[in-house]
Amino acid sequence: MQPKLPICAFDAKTGILCGNCEARLSKGEITEADVKASKAIASLADRFPELGKTTLKRASETRGSYVLEFEQSDMGPLRSNPQLHEELEAALKGKAYLVGAGVSDRQFLEEVFYPARVLTVNTVWLPDGEKKTKVVVPAKRSERRLGDFDKLRETVKRARGIDLLVETEREVAASLHS
């Protein structure tokens, strides 16, 4: 079974865009990230049958990190196989965040931070009128799994337009006691 992708299956398998997909890319209907993610998924679909049943809605890329938006119903099978996630990151040569398409901002953030738990999500209004979304995550696990919060902030901003402020519960506790 072939996954449903932003580009046609033949292009995803061969790595060369047909005239139709090339025109869609030039018009901005699809992105280079859509093309690269489609090729990666197509190359892995034979080894991972659950990937063949998925629908990739869109992809975005920031400094080598990818947000791949799948149909919400695909998230369970994708999450159940950690090796699939590792292979997808290897094929993309970067970090891959698997999220459901069309979900709320909170659910989007929970999926980006997965497997770390999101403790709270709050909107913070700064004095200059700027709006930031503050996410508090557990300290030890999130630091180990997520790594570079600056890169994550850029990735989330590009994918969803969310200005992200990430704090660990350790940082929150320290600011309350100082």
Non-local (6+) Cβ contacts of 64 within 8 A are: 93, 94, 95
**What's the pLDDT score for residue 3?**
92
Mean pLDDT of all residues in 130-155: 75
> Mind giving me the DSSP string for 84-134?
HHHHHHHHHTS-EEEEETT--HHHHHHHHHTTSPP-EEEEEE-TTS-EEEE
**What's the pLDDT score for residue 19?**
93
Non-local (6+) Cβ contacts of 106 within 8 A are: 118, 121
**What's the pLDDT score for residue 7?**
95
pLDDT digits (tens, 9 = 90+) for 15-53: 899 999 999 999 999 999 999 999 999 999 989 998 989
**What's the pLDDT score for residue 115?**
82
d(CA 27, CA 37): 19
- Strand, helix or coil at 139? helix
> Is residue 162 a contact partner of residue 156, using CB atoms and an 8 Å limit?
yes
Residue ranges of domains in the chain, CATH in brackets: 1-102 (3.30.300), 103-178 (3.30.300.20)
Q: Does residue 10 have a pLDDT over 50? A: yes
Q: Does residue 177 have a pLDDT over 80? A: no
pLDDT digits (tens, 9 = 90+) for 50-59: 898 999 999 9
> Average model confidence (pLDDT) for the chain?
88
- Phi/psi for 34 (5° steps) reads -60, -45
pTM, entire model? 0.87
Q: Does residue 173 have a pLDDT over 70? A: no
Of residues 93 and 171, the one with the higher pLDDT is 93
**What's the pLDDT score for residue 106?**
93
pLDDT digits (tens, 9 = 90+) for 63-94: 899 999 999 999 998 988 889 999 999 999 99
**What's the pLDDT score for residue 142?**
47
